[in-house]
Chain A
C-alpha cells in the first residue's frame, strides 16, 4: 500500500483523540511486532495491532478505521502484557472502537435484529453484556 505522509497528517487530531481516550503515547511504539505475534485473533485480522498503531500515529484515520483489527480485538491484554515499551495496546484498540462508536452517525458494529434465531438465548449474560459494551454506540 502506498502511503503519502504530510506534515499535517502525522500526529493529527485523530491521533491525539486516540491517545487521549487510551491514555497511551503512541510515539513509544518501535514496531517490534510483539503485540501482533502474541495476539490470539491476529489470524483473522486484516492487519496486525502494531500496524494499526502505526497508521494511527501517522494520522491515517481512514486506513486505521477501515480494518477489522480493533473490532476483532478481544481485550485479552496479552499484547499489553508483552509490549516491551509498556504500551497498553488493548486500550488503543478500545479507543479506536470508541472513535467510531462515538461519531454522530452512531453506527453500531453489530446488529441485534440480525442475530440468528435463538442465538441470544444460548449466550450467557456475561457474553452479551460485554459484547454490547464493545460493539454498540
Chain B
C-alpha cells in the first residue's frame, strides 16, 4: 500500500493512494499557472490518486495545427504521446489547450495511417494512438464519481455563486473531444454542485475568450473577455471558474484592461477549478496559490466564511 503525506488544515494527513495517472503538466502550469498544477496534485492525493508526471516532456505546441499539411506541428504532441505510452495507458492533463492538442493528435494518429507512419518515422517511435486521454474533470466524473466527491467534501462551498467557464478547447471539435454536449455542456456544473456551490447558467459559457488574440490583437481579446464576464455577472456570478491558463489570462489578468475601457466594470475573482476543489477538500487556503490570481479572491472567500 502506498501513502502520501499532506498538510490538511492544521494537521498532516496520511493518505492512501489507490491509483496513478500519467500526467502531462504543460509549460504554463510550471510557471504562470503553478497554482493550477499544485492544487490539482494536492487534491488528487486527497482523492486517493497520484498524478505521475511524465518524464522528459516538452511543450505540446499550444495549438493543434489546422493546416492539413502541417505535419511538423504534430511532432511535439506525438512525441509526448509516444513516450507516455511507454510508461502507461492513460494520460491526463489539466490545461484545456494541452488537452485539446494532445487528444486531437492522438485521434489523428489512430485514424490516419499515412500521417501516423510519417510521424513515427520522424520521431523514431512506433506509436499507434492507443493511449486514453482524460481531462482531470473526466477523472473526477468517471473514476471518482461526483456523488463520491460530494461525500469527501469537508467544507461545502455553500452560497458561492460560481460561473463555470468552459471556453472552447474542452468541447470543440465535439466529435473528437467527446467531452460533453457541444452547445449545452453540464459536466462543469455538476462538479461545482458536488462541491456545494451554486453553478450559474450564462449564455457565454462556451464562448471563446479571444485566445491567442491577446498577442495579435489585445484589444479584441479584452472585448471578448468583457462580454463573457459581463454575461456571467449579469446572471448573478460572484466568481468565474476556469480550466485553462489562457482563458485565465484573458478573463482574470485582463480585468485591469477591461476596467480602463469600461469604467462601470466591477472585477470578480477567477478560480482554477482545482483551487475551489482544494478549499472544499479542506486544504489550507495559503497552499492554494491565490497570490498568482490577478483579482484577489480572498475577500470573497472570507466574506463567504470559507477561510
Chain A residues close to B by CB (< 8 Å):
20-23, 40-41, 43-44, 71-72, 74-78, 80-81, 88, 90-91, 93-95, 98, 109-110, 122-135
Q: How far is the CB of B294 from chain A (nearest CB, A)?
A: 10
The reply to whether A74 and B62 form a contact with Cβ atoms under 8 Å apart is no
**List of A residues within 8 angstroms of B28 by Cβ:** 124-126
A8 to chain B, nearest CB (A): 26
The docked-state distance in angstroms from the alpha carbon of A53 to that of B52 is 45
**Cross-chain contact B211 with A95 (CB below 8 angstroms):** no
Asked if A127 meets B172 with Cβ closer than 8 Å, knowing A91-B67, A133-B73, A135-B216, the reply is no
Residue from B68, B215, B216 within 8 A of A21 (CB atoms): B68
- Report the Cα distance A130→B212, complex, angstroms: 6
Note all chain B residues with C-beta closer than 8 A to A125.
27-28, 31-32, 59, 62
Measured CB to CB, the closest approach of chain B to A107, in angstroms, equals 14
- Cβ A78 vs Cβ B216 within 8 A: no
B174 lies within 8 A of chain A by Cβ? yes
Q: A124 and B212: CB pair below 8 A?
A: no
Contact between chains at B62 and A90 (CB < 8 Å): no
Shortest Cβ distance from A115 into chain B, in angstroms? Answer: 9
Q: Which of B218-273 contact A (CB under 8 A)?
A: 220-221, 223-224, 227, 244-246, 248-249, 253
- Decide if A123 touches B215 in the complex (CB within 8 Å): yes
Q: Is B142 an interface residue (CB 8 A)?
A: no
- B66 at interface by CB-CB < 8 Å: yes
Q: 17 A-B residue contacts at CB 8 Å?
A: A21-B68, A41-B224, A44-B217, A44-B223, A72-B220, A74-B212, A74-B224, A75-B212, A78-B208, A98-B70, A110-B215, A123-B214, A125-B31, A126-B97, A129-B59, A130-B62, A135-B215
Q: Known contacts A126-B26, A130-B212; is A21 also within 8 Å of B67 by CB?
A: yes
Chain B residues with CB below 8 A from A77, complex form = 168, 172-173
Q: A23-B68, A75-B63 are in contact. Are A134 and B224 (CB under 8 A)?
A: no
Query: Closest approach, in angstroms, between the C-beta of A38 and any C-beta of chain B?
Result: 9
Would you call A44 and B220 a contact (CB within 8 A)? yes
Residue B164 interfacial (CB < 8 Å): no
CA gap between A132 and B59 in the complex, in Å? 14
B137 interface contact, C-beta 8 A:
no
Complex Cα gap A30–B168 (Å): 25
**What separation, in Å, do the CA atoms of A41 and B250 have in the docked complex?**
14
A124 near B173: Cβ-Cβ < 8 Å: no
The distance in angstroms between the C-alpha atoms of A41 and B213, with both chains bound, is: 10
> Contact at A126–B27, with CB atoms within 8 Å?
yes
**Does residue B33 face the partner (Cβ distance < 8 Å to A)?**
yes
Q: Which among B28, B213, B244 has the greatest number of chain A C-beta atoms within 10 A?
A: B213
Query: Is the CB–CB distance between A131 and B67 below 8 Å?
Result: no
B66, B172, B217, B221 interface centre (most CB from chain A within 10 Å)? B66
The 0/1 profile, CB within 8 Å of A marked 1, for residues 8-32 of chain B is 0000000000000000001110011
Instruction: Please tell me if the beta carbons of A95 and B210 are within 8 angstroms of each other in the complex.
Output: no
Residue of B28, B61, B216, B220 ringed by the most chain A CB atoms within 10 A: B216
